[in-house]
Structure 1
């Protein structure tokens, strides 16, 4: 059989790996400069695939912005193939929404240059999730190509997701670099093509074979067009410079409907390491990266975005307030979607498999931290603004005597959980009860406190004070909620003391009472000097259990003053079991005790009587492998006990939460021998 050999020039681009990003970008600029010059020469069949990820264009154009139009020209001409991804991610260490945002951003950026490659190209991730065909079809991609996760399947097959979605899959059995660095001497070139054909042909269902001319950070081979033309007569097969879309199109035509229907089907996750390593050790390498990423994805998808949408619906218009200082919290920024997209962009840049897998040089992972930090700063601030906006639309019946607390549940179902809230201690007694919306008392416990923080102490004359009052808008001054206003007169001088919050809701009745007193002073010409004192109110943390919060909903609780001297600050307070104080805690379901010698935990299920001993044991063993693979030493010293008895203490005891702290000291080998 005569075959068609599709030689596809490409590069596989690890944006950061064994060198940090900026060093690899220097290589990228060199590659792109040469590639664009090559493509601009006399027209040939040469086209180049830019690894399926559009971020390479962002990185290049940040250095060579004048090349944007030339890139657009080559993309529209089909000679530079970009996308569909923004970055090539690890599929198991990022959330499903992150994969969608990745493809969505890649598609949007590719459209700006003329369109993305219609192939779900995922050559190097360490295995593949079962839903990937469904995700690709959702973006209009019906072809996919990958290297890892299969064993002896043929080169062409169907990949099916649990919902029945299918993509036509090209299995890169011999890797994404099987035709890398092809020899330039004609006879050697012919021999190499024959070797590649003979390796793939037994596993192909069609007469079309895929030869990927590229590897990690490889630049294009400019001699390929002339080399192919020179040897075509000596080769029994059809050899052409091609692209992935052209390969799929011709392969489909060659198979026809009957041939396509007979292709085997693989379903679900692709996790076989038979032909290509999956490197599963990276699932736990530098675990802090995985934890930080998960926390940020949760912050964006469960808090920042949904509550920003609700805030925009509830408060769509009106002028933005004027901010006169950077020292106060910012009111809600309208139309925050671009900022949320920026947070996603920063987070996605940490999702390439060499980044999030934690298998790169140390500098790479140090440079991931500021991306995480910046994404978190955006998401946290937009969440804060949005929650305050939503809470401000809730009818809470604040009568000045009770303070409302709004607790939100970002999950899809009901939730019961401990809530810690900072309570400003102004306008309220320091003795209070927590009540739910039905008027039932809710047990709580007291935590740490923050003392008052002075903000302002100034002397003002009458006209200055009149001008300053204009800054009081809707119970806020310069954006800060006013919780209390106290006015005191001594002869010709009056003192106005204002208690402010960093965030939260103002006490509108207290503000109006205070302003009325100030207006009365201003009308009294015998008062000639005013002292204005502003401070952040003292804060007390309390913790209580919010029960059965509705999914995607909220519940309102209230602080209600109680008589001084009553023991209402900690109703239901418990004490450690007698004789074991300091090393055991329990509730109605479980009892947890720390073993005094080795610090392990014994947990008793009080419903069944089942005892679970020896839990929470720390074990340290040696590892002479690398960031990809664990390899135990030939002779290991395993440390599974602390060097001395642990220090144990109960940090919190109360109706909402008990917290037990165990401090242990271990002696570990300093290094491998």
Structure 2
């Protein structure tokens, strides 16, 4: 009888921070790898998979003793301690597509420097998968993926297709990656049980055992002897040690990709395994901080550094800054489903990244001569200068035209009436939205630091700046022509919308172009949540609370600008009862202020909400009526706009080891539902609420007090240790920025509105004549992912959100490369949903 061959791949899955904080796990990592190194050196193990994320090796080598480090280096160089392809095993929906590319880029570079690089798309434990992952993997010359969650299929061998048509061979780990039967006493029975299960779904006779699990090391028993003993006793299976690359190659030789069951697009099914969808809103502040960090690096720092004449480009400083951001993306980190100590450390890293971004912006401005850090240096720039001379820099290769709202600092007494003189001599009066006393602290490199007293002015004005170009302004004081008037009225309007505040603290929005009216916009509602950091769950007896008007109402009116500010409060249950079946009788008052702005000619309704949460165990949502029944929503994800069928929340209890169907969805920047677009930074979870006319519900926050629980209706088992996480209740102040637009969905237009909201021109101190020549992308439909300097070249990455072939042209000669830098044939068009990377000889 011919035995089925089962390849055994020894591994550990290493959550660098989760139910223990980072340093605790790192100390454990040393112990685990001492055992692994010995087992490899004794040829008990042929090879060991170091979890596909090189950050674990970096963490280990930075702290282990030199003797162990030397042994590990030798094993890496021999290819026996297998590394890559990722730097960090990231959550794919809570970081940008560009961050995923940099993740692979940094992982590849580091793995190769240590000795070996595994070209396997290893993604065993992320909570679902983006639809463009096959295109990203192929961009790094990886033609396969090994995954578990999100896949509802009977076969373990599949073909996965991205939206642009890219394909990879997929190995579905039907029983998950966490398998360690060789570690237990009755290992023969354990292996047989596992192999009998996976055989049912395998396409052939080649099977796989991923021997290992979370933070586990091989047991002290001799693994090679156990493998030999099992194989000698079994009539059906033959075990052999292998690695993922060899195993995937063997499978692909016998299976034609076109003959395998095909899957297309994003994978968030949960019939076979939990996908834990409500991590999208757990500790929402982490998501907001992450997007701010991504936007600073990709849409400000890198383009600014690329267009400034920096003599010593900060390659290492920039790469280390990227690493600081990427470690936040680990699936138990950015998802907010770790112990409180982990997320406090994440906030500290966020602050450090912001400091690094400030420093790199200063490097660029110093090289341009916009600022000086020397009081007695060459040139006439005062290190204590204010913003009386400032520059708008457009970090995108696409032309920008629209409203700018920015703050400038001017020394001295309050200046009541400001005038801007634009480069070329044109003068105009900005809208002074706000002015308040403040200071700027400056420390020259050759003299004493000083604090300069003055005022901060928030200005609004229209500007037009060409792609990767700049425009200079000078600020003077002059008698004002138009003054913003304060009033106490309930409505504001521009030439596109009229907005009226209703008695129930919601907005009635009239689109003057179409006459369409939406009532009840912006309702803030709370319901109880008996779930944990992974899943929302309603209690047996729910309680719904709705915010109402309170206190102050203020309206500011100007011919070019209007603003409505109003206070709101929410009386709600303080928490769940001890048995968690319903709310306690005690109530608390949460409160906030909503600010709504309109600018002349702008289709954006710009909103800012500051909220003080005083309640526990609840979900707070912002509701936006759509005025129609919905079949589908449209939201941006990594390098695509995803069309998702509407799934309403199902509150029926699930059986053991099952999870309620997924009804919440991710978005990176926007959701378009019917004729309404919601654009945001840092509120990535939305759902559709059923009504006569469906509502879009944005999760503002989830207040939960447990890492994992096993006693609620929407998930039939634990997702981690049952540990209290009181800081996940998210008490205190939260701030939200978002925009609403009434328009029909069109992919490019929706993406452009989101880019307009999140990636506006930068206001920089000073003027310069040293800017490098700009690069212009003329096709407005294409979306920009990266603008950065690589050696003597400028790299530009764009993608096509539409279903049509789009022309691609620049005002400079370019060459086309793959994501990993391989040379590709030159093109003048970009296919639907395609990512295109080009490089321009720009710094020679």
Give the TM bin, normalised by the shorter chain. Answer: 0.7 to 0.9
Query: What is residue 523 of structure 1 aligned with on the other side?
Result: none
C-alpha contact (below 8 Å) 1:290/1:356 kept by paired residues? yes
Please give the alpha-carbon distance, in whole angstroms, between the structure 2 residues aligned to 1:441 and 1:592: 31
1:99 Cα deviation from its structure 2 partner: 0.7
Query: What is residue 88 of structure 1 aligned with on the other side?
Result: 89
Please give the alpha-carbon distance, in whole angstroms, between the structure 2 residues aligned to 1:163 and 1:615: 36
Decide which of 202, 208, 216 is 2:214's aligned counterpart: 216
Do the aligned partners of residues 451 and 671 (structure 1) sit closer, same or farther apart at CA in structure 2, a change above 3 Å counting?
A: closer
Deviation track 1:188-234 (CA, whole Å, cap 9, x = no partner) reads 44443333332222322221101111111111134221112223332
Answer with 403-412 or 211-220: which moved more: 403-412
Deviation track 1:35-54 (CA, whole Å, cap 9, x = no partner) reads 2122222x345321111111
Alignment of 1:101-112 (within 5 A): 101-112=102-113
Query: What is residue 524 of structure 1 aligned with on the other side?
Result: none
C-alpha contact (below 8 Å) 2:431/2:461 kept by paired residues? no
Alignment of 1:11-410 (within 5 A): 11-41=12-42, 43-66=43-66, 67-177=68-178, 179-182=179-182, 188-221=186-219, 222-236=221-235, 237-253=237-253, 255=254, 259-311=256-308, 314-316=309-311, 334-387=312-365, 389-390=367-368, 392=370, 404-410=389-395
Please give the alpha-carbon distance, in whole angstroms, between the structure 2 residues aligned to 1:297 and 1:453: 26
1:97 Cα deviation from its structure 2 partner: 1.2
Query: What is residue 553 of structure 2 aligned with on the other side?
Result: 648
Query: What is residue 488 of structure 2 aligned with on the other side?
Result: 581
SS in 1 for 2:131: coil
Deviation track 1:145-171 (CA, whole Å, cap 9, x = no partner) reads 000111124112222222332222111
Matched, 1:572 2:482: yes
SS in 1 for 2:569: coil
1:79 Cα deviation from its structure 2 partner: 2.2
C-alpha contact (below 8 Å) 1:184/1:227 kept by paired residues? no
- Gap regions ≥5 residues in structure 2: 372-380, 578-844
Query: What is residue 742 of structure 2 aligned with on the other side?
Result: none
Could you tell me the TM-score, scaled by structure 1's length?
A: 0.76
SS in 1 for 2:531: coil
Please give the alpha-carbon distance, in whole angstroms, between the structure 1 residues aligned to 2:11 and 2:438: 62
Please give the alpha-carbon distance, in whole angstroms, between the structure 2 residues aligned to 1:453 and 1:11: 50
Do the aligned partners of residues 454 and 335 (structure 1) sit closer, same or farther apart at CA in structure 2, a change above 3 Å counting?
A: closer
Quick check: which one's strand share is greater? 2
Larger Rg belongs to: 1
SS in 1 for 2:514: coil
Matched, 1:448 2:364: no
1:427 Cα deviation from its structure 2 partner: 13
1:16 Cα deviation from its structure 2 partner: 1.3
C-alpha contact (below 8 Å) 2:129/2:268 kept by paired residues? yes
Count matched residues.
559
Do the aligned partners of residues 632 and 5 (structure 1) sit closer, same or farther apart at CA in structure 2, a change above 3 Å counting?
A: same
Do the aligned partners of residues 350 and 341 (structure 1) sit closer, same or farther apart at CA in structure 2, a change above 3 Å counting?
A: same
C-alpha contact (below 8 Å) 1:594/1:602 kept by paired residues? yes
Quick check: which one's helix share is greater? 1
Please give the alpha-carbon distance, in whole angstroms, between the structure 1 residues aligned to 2:332 and 2:418: 53
SS in 2 for 1:664: strand
1:537 Cα deviation from its structure 2 partner: 6.4
Query: What is residue 454 of structure 2 aligned with on the other side?
Result: 538
C-alpha contact (below 8 Å) 1:590/1:603 kept by paired residues? yes
- Gap regions ≥5 residues in structure 1: 317-333, 456-475, 481-499, 503-533
What is the aligned-residue RMSD (CA, Å)? 3.1
1:84 Cα deviation from its structure 2 partner: 1.3
Do the aligned partners of residues 357 and 478 (structure 1) sit closer, same or farther apart at CA in structure 2, a change above 3 Å counting?
A: closer
Deviation track 1:9-56 (CA, whole Å, cap 9, x = no partner) reads 111111111221122222212111222122222x34532111111111
Query: What is residue 624 of structure 1 aligned with on the other side?
Result: 530
Decide which of 458, 461, 471 is 1:555's aligned counterpart: 471
Query: What is residue 460 of structure 1 aligned with on the other side?
Result: none
1:337 Cα deviation from its structure 2 partner: 2.2
Alignment of 1:496-507 (within 5 A): none
Do the aligned partners of residues 294 and 613 (structure 1) sit closer, same or farther apart at CA in structure 2, a change above 3 Å counting?
A: same
SS in 2 for 1:203: coil
Please give the alpha-carbon distance, in whole angstroms, between the structure 1 residues aligned to 2:299 and 2:565: 30
Deviation track 1:490-510 (CA, whole Å, cap 9, x = no partner) reads xxxxxxxxxx9x9xxxxxxxx
C-alpha contact (below 8 Å) 1:443/1:544 kept by paired residues? no
Please give the alpha-carbon distance, in whole angstroms, between the structure 2 residues aligned to 1:362 and 1:452: 35
Answer with 277-286 or 155-164: which moved more: 155-164
SS in 1 for 2:149: coil
Alignment of 1:480-495 (within 5 A): none
Deviation track 1:576-609 (CA, whole Å, cap 9, x = no partner) reads 6xxx7343332222232323x4322222323333
C-alpha contact (below 8 Å) 2:181/2:190 kept by paired residues? no
Do the aligned partners of residues 554 and 391 (structure 1) sit closer, same or farther apart at CA in structure 2, a change above 3 Å counting?
A: farther
